[in-house]
Amino acid sequence: MTIRDTAVGQYLVITAGYWAFTITDGALRMLVVLYFHNLGYSPLEVATLFLMYEFFGIVTNLFGGWLAARIGLNITMHIGLGLQVVSLLMLLVEQSLLTVLYVMIAQALSGIAKDLNKMSAKSSIKMLVKDGADGRLYQWVAVLTGSKNALKGGGFFIGAALLATLGFSGAVALMAGTLAAVLSVSYLLLNKDLGKTSYRPRFTDLMSKSPAVNRLSLARFFLFASRDVWFVVALPVFLQSQLGWSHIEVGALLAAWIIGYGVVQALAPVITKLGSSSARGDAGGSIPDGRTALLWSIPLCVAPALIVALLPSGPAYHGLDAGYSLVIGLLIFGVLFAINSSVHSYLIVAYAKQDGVSLDVGYYYMANAAGRLFGTVLSGWLYQTAGLAGCLLLSSVLIASTSVISTALPKHQGDCPQV
């Protein structure tokens, strides 16, 4: 029996490809930030380099799911890996050619590649797990999602180390060659029919017809907007400008947070099982449902407001160091957010219809990308007008919206019909 013939073997191939891509994605982001900052680019210009990366996440998830349903997840996954190689190779030009517009185009390709790869990898798991094996499905989704985020944080360190040892061009060339090798191996080992539908989805099938998927997607939009409204811009700027942290200290904190966030995501099946058993007095709550999403969103809603209360201008401040308050609050928020995210990631795969799973998953991650973009834009504007406290309070409001929407999610397994 070969790797192509077993679900576990195919899962390992998908996971390995996803890991390789994720490391290069995190490393490339750090390379671009550090290298172009050293070239004299302003912070606004460096941020602009990633604008197309985020925007194309919305477009790719929406159309990528439809494309995968037509041509197969195997092909879209490898298109994603191939586009990342092209994006890296585009940066191997003379320094004088690395204009803002040129790098934005390269980053746009990287953004398309990232979301094609993510959508394909997560959709594929649905095809590999037998109907009724919800526990295995939850575990596999949690491990894939958690390991991805942990490795992306590790990629930040790898990118900085490669830049210091090999230089920008050497680091980019090494990553491009490694990823091309991974692409070749994955192409040989992955089942060619993975994810192909029994029908040819129409363009009108882009929008989900499932009420559960639509509600979960809307909840996801507000969930990720609530994180990025203070995490992406407001937090690092506050740490540097108000608390005097160095670039290295800020970068190390964010990287460590992302790695820890990924670890908690991977452990979410254990955590939610313990929480469900103690709350309901049984062992039957190990598989998340709409009630799980609601219950875990409530303490998350409180976390940003608690951080505001502990800041020097907050009502609960009693001489605490603002840095300690933020770090402790960030850790609490990270643990709760990781569990919420992992529960959502399982639910979309569970809710998605078996035939054409990528359509529902792509639509869901389109909402995820839109929430990130919305939160990022709000973060910069709101920080200028209301400071970090304003960003955190809006975060609580956005999470409350997630909670309200979660009340309408199916409360039991099997309540979501496959349409």
Residue 69 in any domain: the answer is: yes
Residue 204 in any domain: the answer is: no
Residue 385 in any domain: the answer is: yes
CATH number at residue 149: 1.20.1250.20
Residue 185 shares a structural domain with residue 263: no
pLDDT of residue 44: 62
pLDDT of residue 92: 92
Residue 159 shares a structural domain with residue 265: no
Three-point CA angle 178, 146, 35, nearest 5°: 45
Residue 98 shares a structural domain with residue 245: no
Q: What amino acid is encoded at 138 in this protein? A: Y
Look at residues 123, 27, 143, 137 and name the one whose alpha carbon lies nearest to residue 77.
Answer: 123
pLDDT of residue 231: 83
Residue 214 in any domain: the answer is: yes
Domain boundary among 136, 169, 196: 196
pLDDT tens-digit profile of 45-58? Answer: 776 777 788 788 88
Residue 396: band (very low, low, confident or very high) from pLDDT cuts 50, 70, 90: very high
> In this structure, what token pair is assigned to residue 86?
């092209």
Residue 232 shares a structural domain with residue 167: no
pLDDT of residue 314: 54
280 Cβ contact partners less than 8 Å away, ≥ 6 residues apart: none
Residue 219 shares a structural domain with residue 176: no
Q: In total, how many domains does the chain have?
A: 2
Domain boundary among 142, 172, 196: 196
For 214, other C-beta atoms within 10 Å of its C-beta total 19
> In this structure, what token pair is assigned to residue 48?
């602009």
Alpha-helix residue ranges (DSSP H) falling in 129-197: 134-189
User: CA 87, CA 371: separation in Å to the nearest integer?
Assistant: 25
Instruction: Record the pTM.
Output: 0.79
User: CA 83, CA 64: separation in Å to the nearest integer?
Assistant: 14
Residue 383 shares a structural domain with residue 329: yes
Residue 237 shares a structural domain with residue 123: no
For 1, other C-beta atoms within 10 Å of its C-beta total 6
Residue 152 shares a structural domain with residue 282: no
Residue 386 in any domain: the answer is: yes
Residue 203 in any domain: the answer is: no
- More confident: 344 or 134: 344
Residue 250 shares a structural domain with residue 304: yes
Residue 162 shares a structural domain with residue 252: no
Are 31 and 88 in contact by the 8 Å Cβ rule? The answer is: no
pLDDT of residue 356: 66
Q: What residue has token string 């108000």?
A: 242
- More confident: 256 or 294: 294
Burial of 249 (0-12, 13-18, 19+ CB in 10 A): middle
Residue 201 in any domain: the answer is: no
pLDDT tens-digit profile of 180-222? Answer: 999 999 888 887 777 566 656 665 666 667 889 999 999 999 9
pLDDT of residue 284: 40
User: CA 400, CA 156: separation in Å to the nearest integer?
Assistant: 32
pLDDT of residue 181: 95
Residue 159 in any domain: the answer is: yes
384 Cβ contact partners less than 8 Å away, ≥ 6 residues apart: none
Comparing 83-87, 142-146, 304-308, the range with the smallest average pLDDT is 142-146
Q: Which domain holds residue 396?
A: 209-419
